[in-house]
Chains A and B, each alone.
Chain A
Amino acid sequence: MSLNGWLQIVCFIAVILLLATPVGRYMAAVFERRKTFLDPVLLPCERLLYRLTGINPEQEMRWTEYAICMLVFSAATLVLTYLIERLQQFLPLNPQHFSAIEPALALNTAISFTTNTNWQSYVPEATMSYLTQMLGLATHNFWSAAVGMAMAVAFIRGIARREVKTLGNFWADLTRATLWVLLPLSIVLSLALVSQGVVQNFRAYDTVKLVQPQKVTGTDGKQTIVTTQTIAQGPVASQEAIKMLGTNGGGFFNTNSAHPFENPTPLSNFLEMIAIFIIPAGLAITLGRMTGSPRHGWAVLSAMVVLWFAGTAVCYWAESQPNPLLHGVDQHISATQAGGNMEGKEVRFGIANSALFATVTTDASCGAVNAMHDSFMPLGGIVPMVNILLGEIVFGGVGAGLYGMLVFVVLSVFIAGLMVGRTPEYLGKKIEAFDVQMSMLYLLIFPLLILCFTAVAVVMPNVGLGSLANHGPHGLSEILYAYTSATGNNGSAFAGLNANTHWYNYSLGVAMFFGRFMMAIPMLAIAGNLAGKKIVPESAGTFPVTTPLFTVLLTSVILIVGALTFFPALSLGPILEHLLLRSGAAF
């Protein structure tokens, strides 16, 4: 570890905390339909959209209506993406003449982008036409993020409102999230990325002559001399911006943000990391503003920062350790050595920014990568996995992170109530049996999907284990990570697993689908139930949700629930691998 590395990490979180308040206040104004500086431009667009679609934005919805609208919208856009993928050879903007995507992969990809996962079982630059990337995938980057924000705002309204049955209008929230938040930020970030060298064009791929011809051994063992290289390009910057801001993570290129056309400089890397956290951090402030308790928003944000710091510190420390199997190699930090594990990392980012990016992308449900998580040391690789296993509530996905965190808040308040023997209250709302039942449903579906699918995959030698590039505990980590990433709607891959098979395409698709919708629905049910409750006046027995004690309790509940659920699986994967590495075994 170096002072330089720590300074960059501190600088990153300082910028996030500085931006959280203005962004959070702005989003509160957007969703409370108050005046914003973008109204002169965007209000006419909004009115036009409502007129074209026949939507009445003033029509309030109960939680069931809100959930059904969310499902209908997701179903319609999912089918649209599936059709675009299946018909891409007949559609324009396909200069490489890519053929149709086969059904299993098309379904997996359509579910993946609809659920904000952006898991990619394919090589984008060798599979998807420009039209598919833009109309099929990048649009989902906006829509799925906007759906997440709409649901988070519905939850906040559930807490803030009293004795009503409604949570707002799904279509209005979706439209405002897209027009007022995601589009303007995306335009600004796209231009900033272009300034750093991220490409944006519609040209066919270039073929260039190599300065040094390369000898390559094929899978059949035959050696050939390669003299040319194909340079993939396309409308990257526009997709890159929303990929980060919407915590989507699906790269235009297979190597994602490690590719020099997606993330060319340390500054573009910094901007991309800021883009991942900025909306989730702002939403914590929005929570405080809309519920009339700004200090509660800061208490929730503090819990997020504590967990983020713990993950970053462990990952940075683990990756800065020399690999004990590399004997006789200088791995100490110096002017010519990064000082630690550089396998799978880009030299232009180094260890600190690779560890930070890995932590940030998995704290949020982004899933973009600038280094290969599969190449991390076992204790470095455990951090991204644990971040997702905790439910991606550390900042979390756009919207999904906040509502996941709020489910933990409900649980924490309930536990605090049990400890003092009083009916638990959350910002004046009594937490009762139904709220806790739905919270538990939310919390149990997640491990059920991950652990069951992983268990099934590891007992099927051909379909499950046959896709692995590594065996032993590392192989288990690869499968566990895949299902964790899919169910958590993260989308990052540990690599080392060929997921483009029928089993993985379908099973990961099911995990993504249920991981999104079966968790969002109980959350909306809690919101609907809370909205109908009276506000109970605060008393001496009320557990305050604005203090450091609350932050400590919330952090502890998150860690204890996560540890109790997943420690056995982690001990058989990365923890065992770490211990075996010390005794000289590698996988």
Chain B
Amino acid sequence: MLDLVTTISLFLMFLLAVLYVRGCERLRGTR
């Protein structure tokens, strides 16, 4: 069970990092 929670948490953390990349790029575009 904990392994599943860990896997989902990791997925969400990396997804957040990818969204962060997109966010930074969007900020550049609105300059």
Contacts and interface: CB of A to CB of B under 8 A. Distances in A.
Interface string B17-28: 110111011011
B4 to A, nearest CB: 10
Interface string A85-114: 010000000000000000110110000000
Given A68-B18, A103-B3, A525 B13 contact: no
Interface residues of A, number: 30
A71 B14 contact: yes
A64 B19 CA distance: 11
Contact of B10 (A63, A67, A78, A441): A78
Contacts of B2: 103-104
Contacts of B18: 68, 71
B22 to A, nearest CB: 8
Interface string A374-410: 0000000000000000000000000000000000000
A521 B24 contact: yes
A434 B21 contact: no
A528 B21 CA distance: 12
A232 interface: no
Nearest to B14: A75
Contacts of B7: 79
Interface in A511-554: 513, 517-518, 521-522, 525, 528-529
A78 B22 CA distance: 22
Given A71-B14, A79-B10, A434-B27, A521 B3 contact: no
Contacts of B13: 510, 513
A68 B17 CA distance: 9
Contacts of A528: 28
How large, as a class, is the contact surface on chain B? Answer: 10 to 19
A438 interface: yes
A525 to B, nearest CB: 4
Contacts of A36: none
B3 A75 contact: no
A510 B13 CA distance: 9
Contacts of A419: none
B20 to A, nearest CB: 6
Most buried by B among A68, A82, A437, A525: A525
Given A75-B14, A437-B27, A68 B21 contact: yes
Nearest to B22: A64
Given A86-B3, A103-B2, A107-B6, A525 B24 contact: yes
Interface string A58-80: 00000110011001001100110
Interface string A455-497: 0000000000000000000000000000000000000000000
A438 B5 CA distance: 32
Contacts, number: 53
Contacts of B17: 71, 517-518, 521
Interface string A148-166: 0000000000000000000
Contact of B6 (A82, A441, A517, A521): A82
Contacts of A510: 13
A585 interface: no
A233 B5 CA distance: 35
A335 interface: no
B12 to A, nearest CB: 11
A78 B13 CA distance: 12
A508 to B, nearest CB: 14
Contacts of A103: 2-3, 5-6
A67 B21 contact: yes
B6 to A, nearest CB: 5
A82 B5 CA distance: 13
Given A71-B14, A103-B3, A103-B6, A433 B21 contact: no
B6 A64 contact: no
A84 to B, nearest CB: 13
Nearest to A520: B17
Contacts of A517: 17, 20
Nearest to A513: B13
A86 B1 CA distance: 13
Contacts of A521: 17, 20-21, 24
A434 B31 contact: yes
Contacts of A525: 24-25, 28
A75 B6 CA distance: 13
B15 to A, nearest CB: 10
Interface string A126-156: 0000000000000000000000000000000
Contacts of B10: 75, 78-79, 82, 107
Nearest to A104: B2
A517 B18 CA distance: 10
Nearest to A62: B25
A441 B21 CA distance: 13
A437 B25 CA distance: 12
Contacts of B27: 434, 437
Given A71-B21, A78-B10, A107-B9, 4 more contacts: A71-B14, A103-B2, A518-B17, A529-B28
Leading 6 A-B pairs by shortest Cβ distance: A103-B2, A525-B24, A517-B17, A67-B21, A75-B14, A107-B6
Interface of B: 2-3, 5-7, 9-10, 13-14, 17-18, 20-22, 24-25, 27-28, 31
Interface of A: 63-64, 67-68, 71, 74-75, 78-79, 82, 86, 103-104, 106-107, 432-434, 437-438, 441, 510, 513, 517-518, 521-522, 525, 528-529
13 contacts: A64-B22, A75-B10, A78-B10, A79-B7, A79-B10, A103-B2, A107-B6, A107-B9, A434-B27, A437-B27, A441-B24, A510-B13, A517-B17
